[in-house]
Amino acid sequence: MTGASCSDTCRHTQNVEKVRSGMLSEREFLFLAELFKAFGDYTRARILFALSMHELCVCALAEVLDMSQSAISHQLRLLRAAKLVRYRKEGKNVFYALDDDHVRNLILQGLDHVREQG
């Protein structure tokens, strides 16, 4: 960490000040990073997209993704922590769904970007 100002040739001082004063709190950036990190995994992306179609119980997710129940459950734990999914118990099953439309929108907006650039 050297925050070295690129001396005199680079006249950007005003922009630096403007941007610096517009920055958010450490806490907000940490939350933001955690949010996106939760999306940023192949398996979790598939889980979230699957749930964007229909609520599913754990073993159903395991079937859809063709993965072990344990692997799915570990990922769901992270998604719960990130508040991206909610769940309800029904007998021996636990059904997961996206927490709100914000989550769905983020996925869909991400897909838009992928389809344009990919």
Positions touching DNA (CB under 7 A) are 1, 4, 6-10, 37, 41-44, 57-60, 62, 67-71, 73-78, 87, 89, 91-95
Using the 8-state DSSP alphabet, how is residue 50 labeled? H
Residue 86 binds which of a second copy, DNA, none (CB < 5-8 A, kind-dependent): none
Q: Which is nearer to a second copy, 51 or 77 (CB)?
A: 51
Of the candidate residues 8, 74, 91, 97, the single one contacting a second copy (CB under 8 A): 91
Tokens matching residue 2: 């050297």
Q: What is the rounded distance in angstroms from the CA atom of residue 3 to the CA atom of residue 90?
A: 55
The verdict on 8 binding a second copy (CB under 8 A) reads no
Helices (H), 12-95: 13-22, 26-39, 42-53, 58-65, 69-81
Count interface residues toward a second copy (CB under 8 A): 71
CB 44 within 8 A of CB 78: yes
